[in-house]
Amino acid sequence: MTWKLFSLLLEASLMTIFVSTVSILLGLVMAIILSGLRMSGNRVAYAGAGVFISFFRGVPLLVQLLLIFNLLPVIGITLPSLATAIIGLSLCTAAYQAENLRGGFEGVAPGLIESAEMAGFTKVQSFIWIRTPIALRVTFPALVNEAILILKASSLVSVVGLIELTKMAQNLSASTYQPLPIFASAGLIYLAINLVVAWIGRRAENALPGLPSR
């Protein structure tokens, strides 16, 4: 295990970080929309969001990625593997994040929504400016947790041909016949990234204002 090999792994970990970050943020936006659909009072929207969440939480990410990767070309959509990876990861994390947000949205005190109503907010405005920020704030620790899960889950996007940390480790392991130090190093890099994310999350949790006091 040389420095050269390790630096290749480090370089590939940038792709891991990039794919994960983009997917988490995209997934968050989708999760908020899913939550809105669930609370819209429209039955079709409610059922649709429910099926989406159930499906993407019910099927292994590996199978989801393989399905998207193989299905898209058949229905005439060809995308680079980076885009496929991001789509797969963000759909999956959207479902999990929507489920995390559910408790946050349910926990918003009705009085806070009534006061928005009395201040003239429409339902949608109240959802955007009152409910969502409060739900996000309350469920922030779950978001950090999900970020760590997605960083680890991003190891699966190698199956759609994207070269990130795990795929790089596989390639190097095959070409150097040193799987032990290489996969161990890859594991350490994941661990280090996750420790940093957890640390930032704790700092942010303490620094963020406005957790309801009551």
Partner 1 sequence: MSFDFAVILAKLPQILSGLGVTILIWIAGTLAAAVLGFVIATLRRFGGRPVDVLLQLPIEVLRGTPFLVQIFLLYFGGPYIGLRLDPWVAGLLGISIYGAAYYAEIFRAGYQSVPPGHVEAAECVGLTRNQIITAILLPEMALLVMPPSINMAVILLKETALLSLITVPEMTMTVQAIGSQQYAFVEALVILALVYWALVELANWLGRLAERNLSKLSA
Partner 2 sequence: MSDPAIKVSHVSKQFGDTQVLRDISLEVAPGTVSCLIGPSGSGKSTLLRCMAFLEQATSGNIHIEGEPLGFTDGPGRKRQSPAELRRVRSKIGMVFQQFNLWPHMTALGNVSLALRRVRGMGRAEAEERAMKQLDKVGLKERAHHYPAQLSGGQQQRVAIARALALDPTIMFFDEPTSALDPELTGEVLSVMRELAAEGMTMVVVTHEIGFAASVGNRIAFLDGGRLLFHDTPEVVFAAPREPRLEQFLDTYLDRGAAMLK
If one asks whether residue 134 binds partner 2 (CB under 8 A), the answer comes out as yes
Please work out the total of residues on this chain that contact partner 1, with binding judged by CB under 8 A: 39
Q: Which of 14, 184, 200, 204 touches partner 1 by CB under 8 A?
A: 184
- Rounded least distance, CB 4 to partner 2, Å: 49
If one asks whether residue 42 binds partner 2 (CB under 8 A), the answer comes out as no
Q: Which of 52, 105, 127, 190 touches partner 1 by CB under 8 A?
A: 190
Within residues 104-123, the interface with partner 2 by CB under 8 A covers 109, 111-112, 114-123
Give the single-character DSSP code of 18. Answer: H
Rg, C-alpha atoms of the chain = 20
Q: Which of 21, 40, 81, 170 touches partner 1 by CB under 8 A?
A: 170
Task: State the Cα–Cα distance between residues 204 and 140, nearest whole angstrom.
Answer: 9
If one asks whether residue 41 binds partner 2 (CB under 8 A), the answer comes out as no
Question: What does 55-124 look like in DSSP terms, one character per residue?
Answer: HHHHS-HHHHHHHHHHHHHHTT----HHHHHHHHHHHHHHHHHHHHHHHHHHHS-HHHHHHHHHTT--HH
* Closest CA relative to residue 88, chosen from 184, 142, 132, 153: 153
If one asks whether residue 204 binds partner 2 (CB under 8 A), the answer comes out as no
Please identify, using beta-carbon distances, which residue of 29 and 191 lies nearer to partner 1.
191
> Choosing among partner 2, partner 1, none, which partner's interface includes residue 213 (Cβ < 5 to 8 Å by kind)?
partner 2
Give the single-character DSSP code of 131. Answer: I
Task: State the Cα–Cα distance between residues 15 and 20, nearest whole angstrom.
Answer: 8
Please identify, using beta-carbon distances, which residue of 121 and 183 lies nearer to partner 2.
121
If one asks whether residue 103 binds partner 2 (CB under 8 A), the answer comes out as no
Q: How many CA atoms lie within 13 A of 34 on its CB side?
A: 28
Task: State the Cα–Cα distance between residues 163 and 165, nearest whole angstrom.
Answer: 7
Interacting residue ranges for partner 1, rule: CB under 8 A = 54-55, 57-64, 66-67, 70-71, 74-75, 148, 152-156, 159, 166, 169-170, 173, 178-180, 183-184, 186-188, 190-191, 194-195
